């Protein structure tokens, strides 16, 4: 299961380059660590691509997804956070 994140451009750029010295990027890294999740960048062809601001978080279940979304939406560098339903049949 995945949670998708759309980050502010500067926060996303810093996280992609493993720079955590801005308030927004440090907050995101700390919150992810507290939640026990890893922020993974989407593959982007260039840093100007809309996908360059996209990140995913793997979660085991919907309850965890809801908690991660709620917590990460409160971070300054996050523009959007939402659940991505799996493609599996019921």
The CATH number of 2-84, from 3.90.550, 1.20.120, 3.30.70, 2.30.30, is 3.30.70
Strand intervals (E) in 14-77: 40-41, 54-58
* Cα–Cα distance measured from residue 37 to residue 75, given in angstroms and rounded to the nearest whole number: 15
Confidence of residue 51 (pLDDT cuts 50, 70, 90): confident
12-33 pLDDT tens trace:
999 998 888 889 999 999 999 9
Confidence of residue 43 (pLDDT cuts 50, 70, 90): confident
* Cα–Cα distance measured from residue 24 to residue 52, given in angstroms and rounded to the nearest whole number: 16
Residues in CB range of 2: below 8 A, 6 or more apart: 56, 57, 58, 59, 83, 84
What region does 32 belong to: left with phi over 0, alpha with psi -120 to 50, or beta? Answer: alpha
């Amino acid at each position: 299961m995945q949670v998708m994140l759309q980050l502010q451009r500067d926060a996303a750029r810093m996280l992609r380059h493993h720079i955590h010295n801005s308030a927004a990027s440090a907050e995101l890294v700390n919150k992810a660590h507290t939640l026990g999740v890893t922020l993974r960048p989407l593959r982007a062809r260039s840093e100007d691509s809309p996908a360059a601001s996209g990140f995913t978080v793997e979660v085991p279940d919907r309850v965890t997804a809801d908690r991660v979304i709620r917590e990460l939406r409160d971070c300054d560098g996050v523009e959007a956070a939402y659940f991505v339903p799996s493609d599996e049949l019921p």
